[in-house]
A = this chain, B = another copy of it.
Amino acid sequence: MSKIFVDACFGKETPYTPVWMMRQAGRYLPEYMKVRAQAGNFLNLCHNPALACEVTLQPVDIIGVDAAILFSDILVVPNEMGMDLEFVTGEGPQFNNPIKTEADIDRLIGGEEAASKLTYVYDTIKLIKEQLAKDKALIGFTGAPWTLATYMIEGEGTKTYNICKKMMYSNPALLHKILAKVTEVVKFYMEKQIEAGIDVVQIFDSWAAAIEPSKYDEFSWKYMVEIADYLKSKYPHIPIIMFPKGIPAFLDKVYGNFDVFGVDWSTPMALAKEKLGDKYVLQGNMEPCRLYSQEETTKCVEALQEIMQGKRHIFNLGHGILPDVPVANAKHFINECHRVSKK
């Protein structure tokens, strides 16, 4: 059975423009909060295939999105490479042993060995595929090497990225060594996600905007392209979505063998269309806070439909949905995307 979301990723004609939302399996859903409480904490939920499967499927059933996205966290990768991950309540993720030296990198588990340890992710994917409707797609994902490296180096979320950037400007070889090692693991990780059954790959570069535009290719984009090249050479039938958040000034330089470019909300869709609309399918990009108002949601969906008329498009938010959005408003967004694009 053909999946409208996969068709849209390849730029094929579809009966309407499909839509999903970043963080759609999340805290705005009371059903999610219930399972989350059952799991005890966030990391337990990632590690439990039955519960992770359950929350992955919730937005498909409740909100009516066209694709499910695997419930997991980007930081399970460095965690299985040997970094001690903890989610501190109210403070977010922390690594208690951040990378400072070459020896710290050498100590980490690399390549297929690290990727093989993420069995709970592959088990979750298999469970989801058994239960997901055949006309819906399952998106697997990874963090970009740069985004993963920022946590591994800073040890926690950061406003200034000053430890990473000190390394970038005064010891770039060390940073490249980390990025290369993470890239190798991610290649195997995504390959195993594909083998387990995902239909689409998304690479999230959540902290893309932390790098000055003239250095972005060197420290992030080229590693994302390396991963895409590797996957495309083995699995050309699996679409790849690149989502670098907040790089409107880099669009002229975007290159690579992937299918969909995820547009964040700080990048006007008209600009993305002008720069990239002939080369890639564009995904996005409603400002997630518009979900607070059904009226502003409708306005934005109609404007996006107008801008993307005749171009290849997938609806999405320009970043993750926030926890205090009413479920009815999320549903309204999905319905409006379907309504305005129906042929």
Contact = CB atoms under 8 A, between A and B. Distances in A.
Contacts of A290: 169
A169 B267 contact: no
A209 interface: yes
Main secondary structure of the interface of A (DSSP, over half): helix
Interface in A233-267: 246, 248-249, 265-267
A189 B292 CA distance: 35
A289 B213 contact: no
A166 B267 CA distance: 20
B209 A289 contact: no
A283 to B, nearest CB: 17
Contacts of A322: 160, 162
Contacts of A170: 292-293, 296
A324 interface: yes
A169 B289 contact: yes
A213 B269 CA distance: 10
Contact of A266 (B165, B166, B212): B212
A249 to B, nearest CB: 4
A168 interface: yes
A336 interface: no
Interface in A168-194: 168-170
A147 B266 CA distance: 17
A287 interface: yes
Nearest to A212: B287
A322 B162 CA distance: 8
A328 interface: no
Interface in A109-144: none
Given A248-B249, A249-B248, A213 B266 contact: yes
Contact of A292 (B165, B213, B271, B293): B165
A168 B214 CA distance: 34
Interface string A270-298: 01000000000000000101101100100
Most chain B beta-carbon neighbours within 10 Å: one of A165, A212, A287:
A212
Interface in A289-325: 289-290, 292-293, 296, 318, 322, 324
A169 B249 contact: no
Contact of A296 (B169, B213, B324): B169
A292 B249 contact: no
A268 interface: yes
Given A162-B322, A322-B160, A214 B293 contact: no
A70 to B, nearest CB: 23
Interface string A136-170: 00000000000000000000000011100110111
A324 B162 contact: yes
A166 B289 contact: yes
Interface of A: 160-162, 165-166, 168-170, 209, 212-214, 246, 248-249, 265-268, 271, 287, 289-290, 292-293, 296, 318, 322, 324
Q: What are the nearest 9 A-B pairs in CB distance?
A: A165-B289, A169-B293, A212-B287, A248-B249, A169-B296, A166-B292, A170-B293, A169-B292, A170-B292
5 contacts: A165-B287, A170-B293, A170-B296, A214-B268, A249-B268
